[in-house]
Amino acid sequence: MTMPKHFQTMLRPDVRPRELWAWAMYDFANSGYTTVVITALFNAYFVAVVAGNAPWATFAWTAALSVSYMLIVLSAPLIGAYADLHAVKKKLLAITTVGCVLFTSLLSFAQPDTLWLTIVCVIVSNFFFGSGENLIAAFLPEISKTRAMGRISGWGWSLGYIGGLVTLGLCLMYVTWAEAQGQTANQFVPITMLITAGIFALASIPTFLLLRERATPKMLEDRGNEGVAVGMAWFRVRQTMHNLRKFADLRRFLLCSLFYQAGIQAVITLTAVYANQAMNFSIQQTLLLVLVVNLTAAVGAFLFGHVQDRIGHVKTIALTLAGWIVTILLAWAAREPTLFWVAANVAGLCLGASQSASRALVGVLAPPSRAAEFFGLWGLAVKLASVAGPLTYGAATWLTGGNHRQSLLVTGSYFVIGLLLLSGVNAARGRRAALRADRIQRLIL
């Protein structure tokens, strides 16, 4: 694939443009999972069909996701530290990819009489997806120059939304055809899980063929001793958690991320449920809505990638959080489809921008030689948020007798708190702390 020449000036000297494309293709590949399974289709199918619209249905969906996110919370720093010590990010990424593809395929058996099998498959597939997301993000500092991380991250994230669009578009075409044939949701939704898994598997191939593992093992003498390796990984995680106080800006940003990502994850997880339950959207309308939102999200990720390299990562994230607050108020006020469509597209712009900017800022604040480990900590914060946000929303709907509008306002409070915490983050100071820690680490080794 031929890429614009100016991309080469953003990459590290030993990185070829095709590797940037291969790295970004993983975003393209895995976005179909989160778009179709978590955001647009399977979540509403789970609530309405698998769980039979029971009073606990929304809570059961959010609880299943919360279990998977807690597993990621417990494992992400360890996986990151292990990947750094042994330079095996790519190997672990392959394992998580196969796992996600396999268990997404098994969701094709989701029916009202397979509730517990469905829950297990959701938990395991989402665990593999989230773990892989952290690992692919850890390649960013290896391929991008520091000053260009916003643009590179934004380019990858925008290609990811295009991947989500492709997968969702194919699913929408199949659903439209199946409904015309008189099929019901419990017949055509399971097939979309096979479509999603297949695209993930095929589109991730360039990543494993072209992307290089540039890290070098930190413990050559212990590479064959997995017990020692795991022990050292745990030691390094404990050391990182203990020394996190030396990274004041990273620590504050992780706390900030915990709150605003809780709001984002609630929106991602429950968009289709809200559209169906509060706005009475059909499956086709919901799929079309998410299709358009993915397009605006791709635009937001690409445009704001350039914006953040100009005005700074922190200011860019602050703008998107203000946009999220506006989104929540518009969606809460919407009684007709038009205003809800406006809110959804503002959310798309903010989604692409905030996710891309967050990944880039972590790349700036993390010591370069320990990127996977610190991206694991970021993954820990995001997954804790993924537990808190959707679970809070699910619990609120249960306690209010299914009032999705009140639950949405609870979600909005997370963005307000995140914006307040963000005001104390200084990216330049945080970068100096990361580089200083890297120099000290090299002297010790």
Each residue's pLDDT tens digit, 375-387:
767 777 877 888 8
Contact between 99 and 29 (Cβ < 8 Å): no
Strand partners, 11: 144
Q: Compute φ and ψ for 11, nearest 5 degrees.
A: -95, 155
Of residues 124 and 294, more confidence is placed in 124
Per-residue burial over 414-423, b if 16 or more Cβ lie within 10 Å, else e, is bbbbbbebbe
Which range among 219-233, 292-306, 400-414 has the greatest average pLDDT?
400-414
At 123, list the tokens.
């938990």
| pLDDT tens digits, one per residue of 96-116 | 999 999 999 999 999 999 999
Tell me how far apart the alpha carbons of residues 399 and 395 are, in angstroms, rounded to a whole number. 6
Helix/strand/coil percentages in the chain, nearest 5: 85, 0, 15
pLDDT at 2: 45
Tell me how far apart the alpha carbons of residues 302 and 67 are, in angstroms, rounded to a whole number. 32
Tell me how far apart the alpha carbons of residues 129 and 29 are, in angstroms, rounded to a whole number. 11
Residue of 410, 406, 395, 404 lying closest to 66 (CA atoms): 395
Tell me how far apart the alpha carbons of residues 60 and 53 are, in angstroms, rounded to a whole number. 11
pLDDT at 300: 77
Burial class (CB within 10 angstroms; exposed 0-12, middle 13-18, buried 19+) of 271? buried
User: How long is the chain?
Assistant: 445
Burial class (CB within 10 angstroms; exposed 0-12, middle 13-18, buried 19+) of 226? exposed
Long-range Cβ pairs for the range 6-9 (8 Å, 24+): 7/155, 9/148
pLDDT at 231: 64
Residue type (1 letter), 72: I
pLDDT at 372: 66
Which range among 122-126, 381-385, 403-407 has the greatest average pLDDT?
122-126
pLDDT at 121: 97
Tell me how far apart the alpha carbons of residues 99 and 93 are, in angstroms, rounded to a whole number. 10
Tell me how far apart the alpha carbons of residues 356 and 149 are, in angstroms, rounded to a whole number. 10
Q: Compute φ and ψ for 217, nearest 5 degrees.
A: -60, 140
Q: Compute φ and ψ for 282, nearest 5 degrees.
A: -80, 175
Query: Considering only 171-180, 235-244, 349-358, 374-383, which range has the smallest mean pLDDT?
Result: 235-244
Tell me how far apart the alpha carbons of residues 442 and 437 are, in angstroms, rounded to a whole number. 9
Q: pLDDT at residue 326 above 60? A: yes
pLDDT at 1: 42
pLDDT class of 351 with cuts at 50, 70, 90: confident
Of residues 329 and 398, more confidence is placed in 329
Tell me how far apart the alpha carbons of residues 416 and 405 are, in angstroms, rounded to a whole number. 18
Mean pLDDT calculated for residue range 325-346: 91
pLDDT class of 180 with cuts at 50, 70, 90: very high
Mean pLDDT calculated for residue range 402-413: 85
248-277 vs 313-333: helix crossing angle, rounded to 10: 20
Q: pLDDT at residue 275 above 50? A: yes
CA distances to 89, 153, 177, 186, 407 from 140, in Å:
12, 7, 40, 40, 36
Of residues 432 and 372, more confidence is placed in 432
Residue of 253, 290, 256 lying closest to 271 (CA atoms): 290
Q: Compute φ and ψ for 113, nearest 5 degrees.
A: -90, 5
Q: Is the CA virtual torsion 200, 202, 203, 206 positive or negative?
A: positive
pLDDT at 441: 66
Helix (H, G, I), strand (E, B) or coil at 144: strand
pLDDT at 416: 94
What DSSP assignment string belongs to 337-386? HHHHHHHHHHHHHHHHHHHHHHHHHHHHHS-GGGHHHHHHHHHHHHHHHH
| pLDDT tens digits, one per residue of 276-290 | 777 888 878 888 888
Place of tokens 């080469």: 8
Of residues 223 and 141, more confidence is placed in 141
Mean pLDDT calculated for residue range 202-213: 93
Of residues 234 and 56, more confidence is placed in 56
pLDDT class of 142 with cuts at 50, 70, 90: confident
